[in-house]
Amino acid sequence: MKKDNFYADVLAVVALIPYGKVTTYGAIAEYLGAKRSARMVGYALNQSTYSPENPLPAHRVINRSGALTGKHAFSGVSMAERLISEGILVENDCVKDLNTYFWNPNEALLHF
């Protein structure tokens, strides 16, 4: 799955994030073997934000601090509301217990 195209890989990993879990750009980038390309992860998501055609849970992807940096890319229902709906504690556009809900693709997927 890796190496074909960075974007498709990012989208694939994000799509695998389980309900009620969140991950970070850096974690995804690290799983893809490009730890320095965390920015590209967010950039990739920007081209495929959640939509009827692309059911991608991009709202589960946040920055290392737990801040919902990509909320501006969403329209209508805010990113925070979606996370709260999944049982994740969010306040002031920031995940409270990031470590509790953190989902590490590197562990979950075991270096596929």
Partner DNA sequence: ATACTGACTAGAA
Partner DNA sequence: CTTCTAGCCAGTA
Nearer to DNA, 21 or 59 (CB): 59
Residues that bind DNA (CB under 7 A): 6-7, 24-26, 34, 36-43, 45-46, 49, 58-59, 61, 63-65, 69-70, 72-73
Q: Could you give the angle at the alpha carbon of 26 between the alpha carbons of 9 and 75, nearest 5°?
A: 75
Minimal distance in Å, beta carbon 6 to DNA? Answer: 6
Distance of CA 18 to CAs 3, 23, 28, 34, 90, Å?
23, 10, 14, 22, 17
- CA-to-CA distance for 84 and 66, rounded, in angstroms? 13
Nearer to DNA, 38 or 90 (CB): 38
Minimal distance in Å, beta carbon 12 to DNA? Answer: 15
